[in-house]
Structure 1
Amino acid sequence: MSNLLERKNVLKVKKFLYNFDKEIELIVLDETARTAEDAAKSLKKEVGAIVKSLLFKNIETNEYYLCLVSGDQYLSLEKLSKIIGNKIAKANADECKEITGYSIGGVSPVAHIHSPSRIFIDEKLNRFDMVYAAAGHPYVVFGITFDNLCSITKGKISDIVE
């Protein structure tokens, strides 16, 4: 499994993180972290400490927005639409890969092919000293403080969950 750290997408995330904070380390899991529940189980952490990176599309403008949501929460399309000012829809797998460069299950909050128009961060992630996000592959994650997640993504802390 350690050869996962040599995969292109994982290396891209690693380099991005290293340039931000040399102390952030990638964690290779024995089991998949494709879902928040899987990641929490593998890491022996609460589901809420897992960052779900969800991509949404503005139906009218075709702009994309990345939402970083606590693993035990559900994004509110109504709240996000109100913030955006237009109707939105969840990006499909092809759109996700095209915009972020990552397949669903390994979408990192950083180092995207095309930067999303905006990044929104679920304020409920702030409950945890450390949160864990995908690092470009379903078996690789990284731990980061909430404040550093906000800084590294330049995301806007928002009320975006139900």
Structure 2
Amino acid sequence: MPDAPALKPAAKRLQEALDAFGLDLKVIEFPASTRTSEEAAEAIGCSVRQIAKSVILRGKRTDRPILVVASGVNRVDEKKVKALIGEKPGRADADFVRARTGFAIGGVAPVGHAEAPVTLLDRDLADLEEIWAAAGTPNAVFRLTPDQLARITGGQWVDVRQE
């Protein structure tokens, strides 16, 4: 059997970060885009609910990166995030996301960031058997369990879903 093609640099860097946790989590690259939750679910063959999308926000007062890992079917309620972190979050532009995470929008993984973010985990992901997260590029993902997500991110399970 031939070797799998080499991962793109950002996906390879993410694989190295995952390897450090010792959980046998493997980055998979697809020929099709996995940039959006819908595209990722279609490429993987799972439900959109199982996509753990990484949303980066920017603390308005502190300028710190805030990572919300949300179910692909949910929109993040910024008022709930504000109540949880004690400051108003704002949208992060592409330059902020790349500088603070090391990843481009559409490929932001929940770990391996250039700067450690404040991390919140959407509790709607917690009861799923398996979830899929971005792995550094707009066509790379990895499969994990909610327990593994909590372990590798150090995030807390909270209600961030917009009603």
Distance 1:26 1:58 in 2: 30
1:10 maps to 2:7: no
**Corresponding position: 1:56 with 2:57:** yes
Contact 2:126 2:157 in 1 (8 A): no
Q: Distance in 1 between matches of 2:88 and 2:112?
A: 26
SS at match of 2:136: strand
Q: Which moved more, 1:21-30 or 1:69-78?
A: 21-30
Q: Which runs of 5+ in 1 are unaligned?
A: none
TM-score under structure 1 normalisation?
Answer: 0.93
| Contact 2:32 2:139 survives alignment (8 Å) | yes
Q: Secondary structure at the match of 1:136?
A: coil
Tell me the distance in 2 between the aligned counterparts of 1:98 and 1:128.
32
Q: Of Structure 1 and Structure 2, which has the larger fraction of its residues in helix?
A: 1
- Does residue 125 of structure 1 match 2:116? no
Alignment TM-score, normalising by the size of structure 2: 0.93
Q: Deviations over 1:2-26 (max 9, x none)?
A: 5461x22111110111121352111
- Give RMSD over aligned pairs: 1.2
- The unaligned stretches of length 5 or more in structure 2 are none
Task: Give the ranges of 4+ consecutive aligned residues of structure 1 lying more than 6 Å apart after TM superposition.
Answer: none
Task: Provide the rounded CA distance (Å) in 2 between the counterparts of 1:127 and 1:47.
Answer: 15
* Pair 1:102 & 2:103 matched: yes
Q: Which residue identity lines up with residue 17 of structure 2 in the other structure? A: F
Residues 75 and 161, structure 1, Cα contact 8 Å, conserved in 2: yes
Partners in 2 of 1:11 and 1:30 — Cα distance?
Answer: 16
Q: Does structure 1 residue 149 correspond to structure 2 residue 116?
A: no
Amino acid at match of 1:55: I
CA contact (8 A) 2:33 2:39 kept: yes
Task: Indicate the percent of aligned positions where both proteins have the same amino acid.
Answer: 31
Number of aligned positions between the proteins: 159
